[in-house]
Amino acid sequence: MPKFWDDFSRWLDDASKVLSKEAGDLTMKGKLKLEIFELKRQLQELFKELGQTFYDFFPLKGNEDFKGDQKIKHIVQKIKRIKNEIKNKETEYKKIGQKNKSTKGG
């Protein structure tokens, strides 16, 4: 009977470690999802600002080259940076928990 309790105790320890790890993974995934959502919201705001800037630019200046406009350059740089952040966070999100799944099967 003592062997049963030892085995049961070890099983409980292992199960609690697995559950703790999976809960941690879910927490990290939730945090990343929230960060991705916030970055996408910022991106929408930048696109809105960029559209407004283009709209304001063309009626006043005609069809001149807008590539030299610093405000437009600045907004485009922000958009590129945020898109890159979103891509990195989505990659990180996909990796969470995959290490555990690959080791469980083996």
pLDDT, tens digit, for every residue of 55-69?
A: 777 655 555 666 677
Convert the pLDDT of each residue in 57-101 to its tens digit: 765 555 566 667 788 888 888 999 999 999 999 999 999 878 656
Angle at 12 between CA 11 and CA 13, to 5 degrees: 90
Measured distance CA(21)–CA(13) in Å, rounded: 12
Name the amino acid, one letter, at 74: H
Alpha helices in the chain (DSSP H): 2-61, 70-95, 98-105
What total of structural domains would you count in the chain?
A: 1
Tokens describing residue 61? 């200046």
- Residue 98: domain span: 2-105
In the structure encoding, which two tokens stand for residue 75, read together? 């907004």
- Give the residue among 43, 6, 49, 33 at the shortest CA–CA distance from 89: 33
